Amino acid sequence: MALKTPEQYEESLRKMKLKVYVQGELVENPVDHPIIRPSLNSVKKTYELAQIPEYQELMTAESHLNGERVNRFCHLHQNTDDLVKKVKMQRLLGQKTAACFQRCVGMDAINAVDSVTFEMDEKLGTDYHKRFTKFLERMQEEDWTVDGAMTDPKGDRSLPPHKQADPDMYVRVVEKRADGIVVRGAKAHQTGAINSHWILVMPTIAMGKDDADYAVSFAAPADAEGVFYIYGRQSCDTRKLEGVEIDVGNKQFGGHEALMVFENVFIPWEYVFMCGEYEFSGSLVERFAGYHRQSYGGCKVGVGDVLIGAAALAAEYNGVAKASHIKDKLIEMVHLNESLYSCGIACSAEGQKTASGNYIIDLLLANVCKQNITRLPYEIARLAEDVAGGLMVTLPSEHDLRHPEIGKIVEKYFKGVDSIPMEDRMRILRLVENLTLGTAAVGYRTESMHGAGSPQAQRVMIARQGDLGSKKELAKEIAGIKKKNQH
């Protein structure tokens, strides 16, 4: 079974025994919980599109391990074409869901872990890469959704892991046994964790010798004993409990984040991919971050396409589509969105082969891509709110529209262009609200700022990779400045 159907994916989650808390209550059935369900639908779309011949080239790839057709989210990039197709696939899924479809973190994690474990084995004589390859084979065969887990709570960020007042602020090894390790701690902001089959944990920062217990990477079932989840709040999330459709804005699709907690979880050695090799923690963080920053040049652009379309429809329904300033704002939104896409494609096209054989993006351009993502979606969202108008945030509820007495009043006074049903206008304004302020803002605007690392993280990498020294030499040569004699 190299490719699951969307129905098989949903059924596989029903068989799991996840321990999930939502708003202070333990959820018996996460699959059908009204707050969680839209995020599951987004992941299902990754399985659905992989079954459609029209999308096969983007959604699937030929496994380098066995030659079978596998979901691209389970694939190691074998060339720059794979890297480019990844970004195009992410844009497509953003267009189809207008939300976070959650499998990107796992795809980016497996590609980072692959090359780093190979290099660890080459230098240290370990067998981590062999273990990882066996895990990857199963992941491809079962078409698993894997949650890449990197971000620790971090506690006091001025202190390294081993100096924290509470040693659990970073995931750590608390016991080594003949048959495996025991880990404790938590991972925060975990995208799609509750919709995943397995967890792939990585360290969150470059470690020193004193932090060796925290330099750990491993895989575990998402419902392993000792693992539980606390679901993150989103703006307007309780609208999903009100029995309405329009007020949600995007009723079918969504994303989610959760705190993933490890309470003395046992991990067999076969699923351990780093255990104390602190000198390789920085490379793993850098490569995962680079892959994930590339991802944003696809997924955020696809959601941006939907937002631009919604803004254009809002202008049409408001009767201002022909105004020159509205046209100019829509043009600017398209310009900004395509600029983001250009960065995603550029860092992919400039990718290079790693020692393990898979391909990594150009890290400098990937960080430039994400740095732009921390800014331009905010302007796209601002322009969308400008075009949509203030009614986007002052509309009465769908309950008012459906009310037997006041419904006609709502419909009368909130109608725009006469030929457009008032309900259509309401739906599109709620969609803009959802994308800029509501639950989808987690997967678009705010995630654009902090996902895959906050802005300063990219600036650190840009400074490191910008190679000012060679640029100075270029300037000296053109200016005719001669090199000083060395004595």
Q: Are both 186 and 296 inside the same structural domain? A: no
Q: Is residue 1 part of a domain?
A: no
User: Same domain for 161 and 28?
Assistant: yes
How many whole angstroms separate alpha carbon 76 and alpha carbon 91? 19
**Residue 445, φ and ψ in degrees, nearest 5:** -70, -60
Q: Of 245, 278, 311, which residue sits at a domain end?
A: 278
The half-sphere exposure of 109 on its side-chain side, counting CA atoms within 13 A, is 29
Please check whether residues 270 and 320 belong to one and the same domain: no
328 and 378 assigned to the same domain: yes
The answer on 317 and 267 residing in a single domain is no
* Number of compact structural domains in the chain: 2
* 188 and 324 belong to one structural domain: no
Q: What is the pLDDT of residues 435-479, one digit of tens each?
A: 999 888 778 988 899 999 999 999 999 999 999 999 999 999 999
Looking at the structure, tell me whether residues 97 and 215 fall in a common domain.
Answer: yes
Instruction: Taking the CA atoms of 275, 278, 284 and 289 in sequence, report the sign of the dihedral they define.
Output: positive
Smallest Cα–Cα separation from 205: which of 466, 457, 463?
Answer: 457
Average of per-residue pLDDT across 212-224: 98
Q: Is 272 inside a domain boundary?
A: yes
- If asked whether residues 327 and 250 sit together in one domain, one would say no
What are the pLDDT digits (tens) for 81-135?
999 999 999 999 999 999 999 999 999 999 999 999 999 999 999 999 999 999 9
pLDDT at 175: 98
> In a 3-state reduction of DSSP, which class is residue 155?
coil
The residue among 33, 133, 73, 104 whose CA lies nearest residue 288 is 104
Contact assessment for residue 229 and residue 194, using Cβ atoms and an 8 Å cutoff: yes
Nearest CA to 367 out of 460, 271, 303 is that of 460
- The pLDDT value recorded for residue 486 is 55
Binding-site residue set for FAD: 191
Predicted local confidence at residue 1, as pLDDT = 63
Interacting residues of 34 by C-beta distance below 8 A, sequence separation 6+: 240, 241
How far apart are alpha carbons 379 and 373 in whole angstroms? 10
- Say if residue 382 is exposed, middle or buried (CB neighbours under 10 Å; 0-12, 13-18, 19+): middle
User: Within its chain, how far is the Cα of 24 from the centroid?
Assistant: 25
- Which residues define the annotated binding site? 191
Cα angle 305, 308, 313 (rounded to 5 degrees) comes to 125
Q: Residue 325 has what pLDDT? A: 98
Question: Which are the contacts of 353, defined by CB distance < 8 A and separation ≥ 6?
Answer: 359
| Residue 259, burial from CB neighbour count under 10 angstroms (0-12, 13-18, 19+) | middle
> Under 8 Å CB-to-CB from 294, ≥6 apart: which residues?
83, 86, 87, 108, 344, 347, 348, 361, 366, 369
What band does 188 get if pLDDT is binned at 50, 70 and 90?
Answer: very high
What is the distance between the alpha carbons of residues 333 and 384, in angstroms, rounded to a whole number? 8
One domain, residues 56 and 160: yes
Predicted confidence at residue 73, as pLDDT, reads 98
The DSSP line for 72-84 is GGG----SHHHHH
Q: Could you give the percent of the chain with pLDDT greater than 90? A: 96
What CATH number is given to the structural domain containing 350?
1.20.140.10
Tell me, yes or no, whether 32 and 71 share the same domain. yes
Q: Are residues 205 and 350 in the same domain?
A: no
Task: Please list the active-site residues.
Answer: 100, 104, 191, 257, 292, 296, 299, 447
Which three-class secondary structure state does DSSP give residue 262?
Answer: strand
Two tokens, residue 312: 């254009």
Rounding to the nearest 10 degrees, give the CA dihedral for residues 215, 217, 223, 229.
50
Q: Looking at the domain assignment, is residue 482 inside a domain?
A: no
Dist CA 8 CA 14 (whole Å): 10
Question: What's the pLDDT at 446?
Answer: 85
Kindly tell me the sign of the dihedral angle through the C-alpha atoms of 95, 97, 99, 104.
negative
pLDDT digits (tens, 9 = 90+) for 20-61: 999 999 999 999 999 999 999 999 999 999 999 999 999 999
Which helix (H) or strand (E) element contains residue 180?
strand 180-187
User: Does 169 fall in a domain?
Assistant: yes
User: At 108, which CATH number?
Assistant: 2.40.110.10
CA distance 13 to 29: 10
Of 221, 256, 278, the last residue of a domain is 278
Question: Helix or strand or coil: residue 178?
Answer: coil
Residues 359-395: pLDDT tens digits?
Answer: 999 999 999 999 999 999 999 999 999 999 999 999 9
Q: How far apart are CA 70 and CA 50, in angstroms?
A: 9
Residue 482 has a CB neighbour count (10 Å cut-off) of: 7
Six-digit token string for 408: 């006609």
Cα dihedral 271, 111, 204, 194 in deg (nearest 10): -70
Examine the pLDDT at 200 and tell me if it is beyond 80. yes
What mean pLDDT value characterizes the chain?
97
341 lies in which domain range? 284-471
Is residue 422 in some structural domain?
A: yes
The residue type at 163: K
Residue 39, judged by CB atoms within 10 A of its CB (0-12, 13-18, 19+), counts as buried
Handedness of CA 301, 99, 221, 452 (dihedral sign): positive
Give me 4's structure tokens.
Answer: 């699951």
Residue with structure tokens 């990197």? 150
Tell me: do 355 and 373 sit in the same domain: yes
pLDDT tops 90 at residue 485 = no
- Structural domain contains residue 476: no
Percent of the chain with pLDDT over 70: 99
pLDDT given for residue 118 in this prediction? 98
Q: Would you say 319 and 369 are in contact if contact means Cβ atoms under 8 Å apart?
A: no
Q: Which helix (H) or strand (E) holds 230?
A: strand 227-231
284, containing H or E segment: helix 281-318
Give the Cα-Cα-Cα angle 254, 258, 264 (nearest 5 degrees): 150
Last-in-domain residue among 226, 249, 278:
278
